[in-house]
Amino acid sequence: MSSIDDLQEQIHDLQSKVAFQEDTIDHLNKMVTKQDEVIRMLERRFMHLGEKIDDMRSQLPDKPFNPADEIPPHY
């Protein structure tokens, strides 16, 4: 092979690698975008659950629950 043929083959190989890398980057970008959406949704749900827990705590009496103080229903 001549040096021109070698250079053309190298250029073709590099173009193939760049095309593959661009496809991989695009795929990874889509995956990261989807993961970001899922994380944001989970953060919203987590915050909502935290608010619900805070609401439930505010409705509890100040005295901590002690099972020993409870009378069984059959008494």
Each residue's pLDDT tens digit, 45-61: 999 999 999 898 888 77
CA atoms within 13 A on the CB side of 4: 0
Q: Distance between CA atoms of 20 and 35, rounded to whole angstroms?
A: 22
66 inside domain:
no
* CA dist., res. 7 & res. 71, Å (int): 90
Q: Is residue 69 part of a domain?
A: no
Average of per-residue pLDDT across 6-35 = 97
The reply to whether the predicted model has a pTM over 0.85 is: no
Q: Which value, in Å, is the radius of gyration of the alpha carbons in the chain?
A: 31
The domain tally of the chain equals 1
Print the domain residue range for 47: 20-53
